[in-house]
Structure 1
Amino acid sequence: MISLRHARVRYGPLEALHGVTLCAPAPGLTVLLGRNGSGRTTVLQALAGTVPLAGGAVVWDGVDVTRMPAFERARHGLCLVPERRAVFGSLTVREHLELLAADRLPYPQLEPLLDRRAGTLSGGEQRMLALSRALLAPARVVLVDEPAQGMSPAVAARTYALLAALDACVVVAEQRLPPALLGRRVFVHELRRGAVVFSGEAAEWAGRSGNGAAPSGG
């Protein structure tokens, strides 16, 4: 399990997280829901250690890792896939695969593109390549900001099936609950303006005030 406890994050004079407390179990899939500016991306960055806390703590398997730098968290098995700049544009798909010491890709759509530089791929193809790192690495915690951005509905559904099958603590940030997760046992934290306004299972969240899933990306 990884969690935030009364976490506060500031960007200059602005406070982005106002004492946020939430947890994500392992193994399992947790979704951070919220509109742009809600604080969901900042929560991922705080868990990963790429932004410092102004207050509160990050606790991982019962150990306070607040002062542990991001590279040390990565060495201990934490993998962050940000929304942007998640691949090395000058490297080919094959070279990314070699960095992972892997001999396969979780997306067959990438196989014909092995000799293409990542910077020349479409947005959806870059997303698949970035997610391959999280899906193939022996990670204990996987944090992904908008996993299915730029993907077709079919590829988005495959992406969430792959993430849900990981034997890890998986936390994803989305604006709305993806259709591919309906019917799955998923934990949800909804954020608004840097505060948690709901925590519970996805079925419970979907039943509140007619909440529903968003259409998949095109």
Structure 2
Amino acid sequence: MLSVENIDLHYGAAQALKGVSLTAKAGKVTCLMGRNGVGKTSTLRAIVGQHPVSGGTITLEGEAITSMAPYQRARKGIAIVPQGREIFPLLSVKENLETGFAATSERTIPESVFELFPVLKDMLRRRGGDLSGGQQQQLAIGRALVTRPKLLVLDEPTEGIQPSIIKDIGRAIEWLRDQGTMAIVLVEQYFEFARDLADTFAVMDRGEVVMQGTRESMVESEMRAHLTV
């Protein structure tokens, strides 16, 4: 589904990514892990087109998307749930969900959004800014799903979220994976959450992927060594 090959990324003179490669397959969760500031979010920005790469290639279903704008990638089937959620606080829950229509010809909210997150159906007329942090995170994921993505990218979806909603988000990711049609890339620092969900891992340090493999092949103690400060 997604292939990232040997990408470099710079912010001015500072190099944030050095030869990063990873893949994401339909029906699988690929988890990107590492300490703060090692390049995880920069990798996601490169994938969704929010920041240009200075080397390497990115392909989706075999098509090169390296030079595509973010809106073009969204229409190709890439959706992101950003760190910080970035919902529209003055729009209603329904209006926030409908902003996903911009990336698809569909004009309906999939019923699966409300099956995964029933609270959204109960709060359709509430303003996004009135929701709790956990509810806003569910809204951000729901908005991404409205685009009917082929690739769903989630940037630390458990950050600052209460445990009960973390479980709801985990169940939603499992359900989406098990449909077998969507590739999921998850950036996560909460190790237990990632361990239970991921099929493959890529661990980053100082802008590079330093460990990569399937859940079965990864050594937990070695992974944790790259996550501790």
Amino acid in structure 1 at the alignment position of 2:204:
L
Gaps of 5+ in 2: 101-107
8 Å contact kept, 2:29–2:199? yes
Which 4+ runs in 1 deviate beyond 4 A? none
Instruction: Note the alpha carbon deviations across 1:63-84, whole angstroms, 9 max, x for none.
Output: 2211111111101111011112
Amino acid in structure 2 at the alignment position of 1:177:
F
Structure 1 residue 195 displacement after superposition: 0.2
Does the C-alpha gap of structure 1 residues 86 and 54 become closer, same or farther in structure 2, counting only changes over 3 Å? same
8 Å contact kept, 1:160–1:180? no
Where 1:204 maps in the other structure, the secondary structure is coil
> How many residues in Structure 1 have an aligned counterpart in Structure 2?
212
Q: 98-107 vs 25-34, which deviates more?
A: 98-107
Bigger share in helix: 2
TM-score (norm. length: structure 2): 0.83
8 Å contact kept, 1:156–1:180? no
Q: Distance in 1 between matches of 2:221 and 2:149?
A: 34
Number of the residue aligned with 1:170: 184
TM-score (norm. length: structure 1): 0.87
Amino acid in structure 1 at the alignment position of 2:87:
V
Number of the residue aligned with 2:60: 60
Gaps of 5+ in 1: none
Instruction: Note the alpha carbon deviations across 1:161-218, whole angstroms, 9 max, x for none.
Output: 2123223010010124233742x56110000110001111224335344749x9xxxx
Does the C-alpha gap of structure 1 residues 203 and 151 become closer, same or farther in structure 2, counting only changes over 3 Å? farther
Q: Distance in 2 between matches of 1:173 and 1:155?
A: 17
Where 1:30 maps in the other structure, the secondary structure is strand
Q: Distance in 1 between matches of 2:31 and 2:193?
A: 13
Instruction: Note the alpha carbon deviations across 1:110-134, whole angstroms, 9 max, x for none.
Output: 3443322112322222111101123
Correspondence for 1:151 among 143, 153, 161: 161
Identical counterparts, % of pairs: 34
Q: 72-81 vs 155-164, which deviates more?
A: 155-164
Number of the residue aligned with 1:196: 209
Q: Distance in 2 between matches of 1:52 and 1:124?
A: 31
Correspondence for 2:140 among 130, 135, 146: 130
